[in-house]
Structures are given as C-alpha cells and as structure tokens.
Structure 1
Amino acid sequence: MTQSTHPDQQALDTLRLIGPAPENWVPPRDGIDHNVVIVGGGQTGAAFAFALRRAGIGQVSVIDAAPDEAHAGVWLNRARMNRLRTPKTLAGPEAGLPGLSFQAWYEARFGAVSYAEIDRIPRTRWAEYLAWYRHFLDIPIRYGTRLTLIEPVGEHFRLHLEVRDGGTVRSVVETARKIVLGNGVAGNGAPFVPAVLKSLPPGHLAHTADAIDFAALRGKSVAVIGGAASAFDAAATALEAGAAEVHLFARRERIASVPVTRARAYPGAYDNYFHLPDAIRWAQARRFRRAGSTPPVDAVERVTRFPNFHLHLGASWTDASVRSERVEASVAGESYAFDFVIAATGYVVDPALRPELKQVAQHIRLWRDQYVPAENDHDDALGAHPYLGAALEYLEKTDADAPYLKHIHVYNPGAFVSFGLPVGDVPSMKRDIPAVVQRISRDLFLADLPAHEARINGDIAADFDVSFYAHSVWQHDKADVA
C-alpha cells in the first residue's frame, strides 16, 4: 500500500491551492448574534458551515442537541446498516474539492486497491471520515444546544435554546437572520407509530429512531414491523445480538424491490427536478409511495441467513396489548406473543408537530395548499409536506402573511415532494447545498445593499502614481529634434 508521507497531504494541498477563505463580507447588525444558524451538527451541519465559510459568510453557528460529538448524528447511533445505501461514487460534503472527498481520505489510509474493492462505504468508515472532515476543517459545533422555539421578529428570528452544560440546563435566547434546518429524518415531523402500537409501554416498544439496547434482547422474541431498509437493519441487529427469534411483519404482499427513484438519477432530471411542473412532481412522489422504499440486497441477505428469522407478508397488526409481561398481537387472524416490538414504520411529515415551529407552522405553505390532485390521486401524507421554493425555503401560505419564512431553509426529508430526494442524505449534497448557500448569500447581500453600494463605490488607493511611468512617456518635441 502506497501512502503519502502525511495521510492528509492531498487535503492539505487542496486547501493550499484554493487559497484562504474570504473574509466575512456581511456587515454586522445591532442586536444580531448570527447571520446563519444551522440546526444539526451531523454531516449536513459541517458541510453547510464549510460552504458558507468559502462564500465569505461569517457569524455562522452550528448547534446540535447531542451532548457531545460521539452522540451526534446517526451513523454511530441510530443507523444500523453495515454499509451506506448509496454508491461510493456519489459526491458528498467535499464541495467539489477531490482532496476533501471520502475517496481521498480512504485511499490515504487504506490504499487505492482497498477502495476499489469496496462496493458501498462501510457505515463506521463514513463516520470516521465525517469526524475527520469536521476536525480537519475546524468546524466548530455547539453540542448540548437544542432549539426549542423559532420566534419571528420582523425579518430575523429570536431563537430560544436549551443549553446543557454537564448537569445544568439553562435557557438562552439568541438572534439570527437565517436558519438552515439540517435536523434529520424527523426534522419536519416526527417518528410514525401506528395506532395499534401506541398503547404499548416503552419497556416493550421502541421506534427505530430510538436508542435501542439490542444487547438486552439477547434470548428474547422480537417483532419488527415494517418492510423498508430500517426494518431489515433492526431485525439483523437484534439477530446478531443474540435474539432467540425475530419476526418481521410487512403489510405489503411482497418486499419492495424496484427502486423507482433510480429512473430520475441522471443529471438532467436530478439537477432540474425543482423546475418540473407540480403535477409531474406529485406523480413521481405518488409513484414512489406506491412502489415502496426498497431495502438494499445486502440488508435482506443479512437477515435471511438466520434460521430464526421469520418474514410475514401481507401481515398488518390489528391488535396489541401487554399480558403477563409479553406483547400479545393479532395479525391477519393469527395470534402471536413477543418480548419486544420494534416499529420500523418511518416518519410522518407535518411541520405542526415540531415544537420549535409552533409559532410559524400555520403560515407554511404545504403541498395540499398548492396543488389539487385528481380525485383518485390524493395522498394526505404527501399533501402535508411543505411546498418549498428553489432554495429549499419555506413559502407563505398567504402572500405577505409571513415574509420571514423565506429565511428558513429546509435541508431534511420534508423537502421530498418538492425536490424528489430524501434531502439530507448524501445524494442531495451536490445539488442542494450550493443552491441554499447561493440564496443565503444573495439575500444577505441585498438586505444590506446601501452598505454594499457604498463599499463598491468607495475610494480606492492607487497602486502607483505618474512617476512610475513618467520616464517612458513619448514626448513629441524630443522626437522632432531627433
């Protein structure tokens, strides 16, 4: 294996060749603490912070509710796949700079041959890379800081924060002109738990969004409800932890195996998706919902190799309750009993469910406010998604009712219907981070246009005076004498 003298030499050369980041060009404003606050310190927060830095936008703060770096993000916590679900060749947070890419980082440590041998990126390696990215680029993240309320004040916001420092919790209010919601899969809603499971106590039920003690499931009988990737990942983790048996219940008659979004993954459709007519975007979202979310082949293989894994198809739960310390369930006319139930049932998108959005949610334009589908094409879940602008910003439900909404950018799966991707994952970075940063730059520049006009019309000292070239000026009288 051939390595550079310094494993980060290519990354160091990249930063040297692109030169230092521009100085902050945004004029300070009285009473404003931050030009931009990024909510979420995972891969999204770090990538946005770096992109804004390179755009010369200062006073940027990244906050994360996790107590420390080890507990932030999903990759070492709630993510349970062995490998990322996306191809290793997709552009990530490197902002078009190859020396900062996962491939460059990986090859510097494990060699080009090793990189060529991997199909998709191992989850733990991706977590290592992201930690390196944050530290190498010196991205500061304020851990233990939870956003509890966004309060609009004119064209800026008062952000109510809950800050944990050790065993103490204090409330803090800070101000910001722009907000980026990079707060994960539940960032515009909440985990979805079917009504049939809601009566189960926490000791017998968890959602895949929760921190699950899989070691405690050793020797236990476990039910997993759901048919997408997270269901198979949870089932596999339970089996690998020594569960006595795992039953996975899917309501479909077959596991979804057709990745319909792949048909629109080429640059033309990907780059211009936002500009598709509403009817086409709605039809694409409906097509995905009908086809279902496809688990990767290796996720299915990971569970089917266990003889104590049992797959139930067309099996919707109709009743569940705890008796004698076990969950008794009725499923498709049959009775079962389990020690623990895991709901791998996804997330509901509804801004009104987010406590930090309670003062603004009623003003956010949703797809159901914007688009009326045909009678047989309604979908309440998709209709609850926010109808976003070109830079993933909230729009007003009623014009001039909430002009501040355009300063909140949604970089989470709430953008799915508008942008056709589970925004916040790796595939969305190349397209959507530059779009959001460019809009933030434009808005901040135009908001302080008088100051910038004065600056660009300001006096500039000359680089030299006439004495610098006076001796070479052609003089006609001397030429005539010659």
Structure 2
Amino acid sequence: MTSPASPDAVAREALRLIGPDPENWVPPRAGVDHNVAIIGGGQSGTTFAFALRRAGIGGVTVIEAAPDERSAGVWLTRARMERLRTPKNLPGPELGIAGLSFQSWYEARHGREAYAALSTIPRRDWADYLIWYKDFLGIPVRYGVWLARIEPADGVFRLHLEAEGRSFVETARKVLLANGVAGNGGPFVPPVLADNLPRTLYAHTADLIDFTALKGRSVAVIGAAASAFDAAATALEAGAAEVHLFARRAQIASVPINRVRGYPGAYDNYPALPDRVRWLQALRFLRIGSTPPPDAVRRAVRFENFHLHLAAPWTGAREVGGRIVATAAGESFAFDFAIAGTGYFVDPAARPELADVAGHILRWRDRYTPPADERHEGLGAHPYLGSGHEYLEKEPGAAPYLKDIHVYNPAGFVSFGLPIGDVPSFRRDIPGVVARISRDLFLADLDAHERRITGTIAAEFDESLYASAIWRGARAAAE
C-alpha cells in the first residue's frame, strides 16, 4: 500500500517547481480600493483569486455573504447529493498544477489505492478539499459581507456593501460575479405554491431546509431533476412518513444531452458558434429535460414510502388546517410540507445589486430572434455575454462600463453552453476570463505601461567582461 504524504508537502513542491507568483503589475489609482472585486467565495471565487494572482494582478478582494467557510458555496448547505456528478479526474481548481488537484490532495491523505477505488468524489470530501485549497494558498475571503448595489461612477464601480449591521462603500475597477446559480436571477418557485400557500408550508431546494423537522411527516416534492430526487431522498433518510415526487413529464428525463458535445472541438470552440446554433443547443437541453443521475433516482426509489407521480403537475393548492391540499392529475392529496425542486430563473433585473445596470444589459432576446416554434422566454432573458464573460450593452455607447462586469455563473449557459460555475467550465473559461481582465487592465493603463516598457534600464555588465576575447586580426597580433 502506498504511504500517504502530507497534502501540504505535495502542493508546496508543486508550487516550488512553477516558481513564485509574479509581482503585481497593475499601477495603483487614486480613489480605487480594488482592481478586481470577486463576488462569491466558493469554488469559483477562490479559484479566480488564485488565477489572478498567478497572472500578476494584485488588488483583488473576495467577498462572500455567508458567515464562514463551511457555509460558503453549496457543498455543505444546499447540495444534498452523496457524490459529485462530474468525473473524478475532471480538471478543476488546480488550474493545471497537479499538486493542487483533488486527486493529489486525496491520495496524500488516503493513498493511491483509496483514490483508485473511488467511482466519483464524495461531496463532503470535495468540500474539505476546497477549504484546504483556499487555506493552503492563503486566499483571503471576507465572510459575512453582502453586496447590496453596484453603482457605476467615473470609471470605477462603487460597491455598496453591508457587514455586521453597517453599510459602507468600496471601489473597484472590475467586478466578477462568481456568485452561484442564483447570481443573475433566483430560485423558481411555481405560482401554484407561491400564490396559494404560506411560506411556512413550502421551501425551495435553494433554501436551508431542516429535514429533521420532517420526520414522521408527509412531504411533496415538485420537480424531477437531480435536486428534486436529492431532496426526496434526504427527507426519507430523515424519517419522513412518505414522500411523493410530482413530475410534469410522462417519464423522467434520462438522456444526458450535454455529453454529446463534450469532446474538445465542441467544448473549446463553443463560444465561437453562430447564435442560431447556440440557441438551438440550449433549447434542445430544455426540451429534453435535466437528467437526474441514476444514483439519485436509486437513492429515492429504494424506499417503499417513496411514490413517483408522472405527468402530474400541480394544478391547485390550498392550506386547510395547517396542511397542504393539492390537486394533480385529477387526484387530491394532503401533505404537511412541499419542496420545490424546480430550478432557477435568469433575469438580471431581479437582482437588487444590479438595479443600476440591468436595464442596459444586452439579452439574448435583444440579439437573436428565433423562428416562432423555437422561441423561449426564459432563454431570451439570459444575458448575451462577450468572449470574456462580460456584459454587453443593449445600446452601444449607453453603458460602456458593462464590459468591466464579468459573469461567471449559470447566466452564461446560452452563451457558453455549460452550467458556468460548475467544475466542467473551469478549464476553458477561467483562463479566458482572467486573460480578458488582464488585457483590459493593461490597456486601460497603457500610457503608464508604455513608459515602463520603453524606459531606461541599467546595463548588466560593461565591455570589460568580454574585452579579452575581442578578435583584433592577424596584423594587430603581429604588432
């Protein structure tokens, strides 16, 4: 059996071999607190902080609304799967540095044989790895800091922040939204729940649900993607008396449509595809449906008190005596609690922090008009992002500052073809975004950089270093 080594020792040697971080090359500006403000301190935000450091970009702050590292992101809060759904060897936060990878970290703790025995990565191990990654690299995350408003102002953004009951303002030249699935919209709660029931009787899978409180209760889950099955299984494991899952479709989506374009040609060049092709790919995904992994389905159906309802959307719901009375597929049901596993919507105008800029953002509906049978209101609301994941202007010249807000969350799905912010998007998109930020900051200070790169520099030696070797010719030698 291979003897485990210290994860820190392995990672430290990997960093030694690539050399020290470059010095910050971005000139300071009066009145600017940060060159880049990263909103979100989960796996994307911390990876970006490291990538920017390796690009020689200093003055970076990472802001996280959650109170601590174990609450940041989803892995120890709203994610309820037992294992990640991505391949265990997929490139991720290590950014090509093998000693920082999950595999290296796991093998250093448990041995090569233990990693080889893994089918996929256990969710809690992934969470522990991300915390180690942040701590080992010394990435400072400011927990408990909430972004309330992004205000464009004279070539910078005034970030209105809240923390510990106080409000304050900091400035940044670039803003990077690495703030997860709801970062450009919010959880979608079906109107049949939101319009008819008190909030105490239902939750969305995005909420922090106390599943222990559901012990002995009758629970309904609406939706049939991964989060719905995960919530159903978690409720059953917590001792729910019964769980009924209601799906709109006549069968559970089982075709992982995104995999067909997972080869390097399509993956690497997807952002260059014509709008028509990207739109059709996004539409195809929605029409086929989001596929729950087989293990998520098995985890729920192994319980005899799990009941699956197909072609059964809720058509009515009301509160009766503190319980839910719901109608679906012509039948009436009574539940103590309902959970919406119905995904998220994208609409920048729904985010309070984007109120000053949302009206100027170019959306897909502004850029591309599909044929009547291919229209989709939800896809049309997605921002039409530039090649650096930046917002673009709906009206040229009306909001030039939008190019300095970069979006690294699922709002980029139609533009980039992946759930942006998930691990599969890291290899292609994080280097691309960092390269754009670097270019923009460099060109914005071109005068200073031109002076720097054309300035005088002291000679490293004088002619005495080579004087003795100068050829003087045969005549000179005879004299």
Query: For this structure pair, what is the TM-score category when the shorter chain's length is used for normalisation?
Result: over 0.9
Q: Which residue of 2 aligns with 1:179?
A: 175
Q: Which residue of 2 aligns with 1:475?
A: 472
Distance 2:188 2:15 in 1: 43
Q: Is the 8 A contact 1:155 1:403 kept in 2?
A: no
Q: Is the 8 A contact 1:41 1:72 kept in 2?
A: yes
Distance 1:384 1:353 in 2: 11
Whether 2:237 is the aligned partner of 1:266: answer no
Q: Is the 8 A contact 2:4 2:109 kept in 1?
A: no
**How far did 1:119 drift?**
1.2
Give TM-score, length-normalised by structure 2.
Answer: 0.98
Distance 1:213 1:428 in 2: 31
Q: Which residue of 2 aligns with 1:348?
A: 345
User: Structure 1, residues 18-77: CA drift from partner, whole Å, max 9, x if none?
Assistant: 111000000000000000000000001110000000000000000000011121110000
Which aligned segments of 4 or more residues in structure 1 are displaced greater than 6 angstroms?
none
Q: Is the 8 A contact 2:5 2:109 kept in 1?
A: no
**How far did 1:480 drift?**
3.9
Q: The residue matched to 1:272 in structure 2 has which SS?
A: helix
Q: The residue matched to 2:197 in structure 1 has which SS?
A: coil
Q: The residue matched to 2:12 in structure 1 has which SS?
A: helix
User: Structure 1, residues 397-453: CA drift from partner, whole Å, max 9, x if none?
Assistant: 010111000111110000000000110000000010000000000000000000000
Distance 1:266 1:70 in 2: 34
Amino acid aligned to 2:296: A
Q: Is the 8 A contact 1:3 1:109 kept in 2?
A: no
**How far did 1:84 drift?**
0.5
Question: More displaced, 195-204 or 47-56?
Answer: 195-204
**How far did 1:5 drift?**
4.4
Q: Which residue of 1 aligns with 2:16?
A: 16
Q: Which residue of 2 aligns with 1:126?
A: 126
Name stretches of at least 5 consecutive residues in structure 1 with no aligned partner.
Answer: none
**How far did 1:477 drift?**
7.3
Q: The residue matched to 2:70 in structure 1 has which SS?
A: helix
Distance 1:481 1:208 in 2: 94
Q: Is the 8 A contact 1:154 1:404 kept in 2?
A: no
Q: Which residue of 2 aligns with 1:230?
A: 227
Distance 1:218 1:480 in 2: 102
Q: Output the aligned Cα RMSD.
A: 1.0
User: Structure 1, residues 177-207: CA drift from partner, whole Å, max 9, x if none?
Assistant: 0011000000010110111101322221100
How many residues align? The count is: 478
Whether 2:295 is the aligned partner of 1:293: answer no
Q: Which residue of 2 aligns with 1:281?
A: 278
Q: The residue matched to 2:113 in structure 1 has which SS?
A: helix
User: Structure 1, residues 208-261: CA drift from partner, whole Å, max 9, x if none?
Assistant: 000000000000000000010000000000000000000000001000000111
Q: Which residue of 2 aligns with 1:196?
A: 192
Pairing of 1:378-397 with structure 2 (within 5 A): 378-397=375-394
Q: Which residue of 2 aligns with 1:42?
A: 42
Distance 1:240 1:328 in 2: 24
Q: Percent identity of the aligned residues?
A: 67
Name stretches of at least 5 consecutive residues in structure 2 with no aligned partner.
Answer: none
**How far did 1:474 drift?**
2.5
Q: Which residue of 1 aligns with 2:356?
A: 359
Q: The residue matched to 2:349 in structure 1 has which SS?
A: helix
Give TM-score, length-normalised by structure 1.
Answer: 0.98
**How far did 1:318 drift?**
1.0
Distance 1:448 1:427 in 2: 34
Amino acid aligned to 1:397: K
Q: Which residue of 1 aligns with 2:83?
A: 83
Distance 1:235 1:149 in 2: 36
Q: The residue matched to 1:283 in structure 2 has which SS?
A: helix
Q: Which residue of 2 aligns with 1:433?
A: 430
Distance 1:171 1:3 in 2: 51
Whether 2:245 is the aligned partner of 1:248: answer yes
Whether 2:312 is the aligned partner of 1:309: answer no
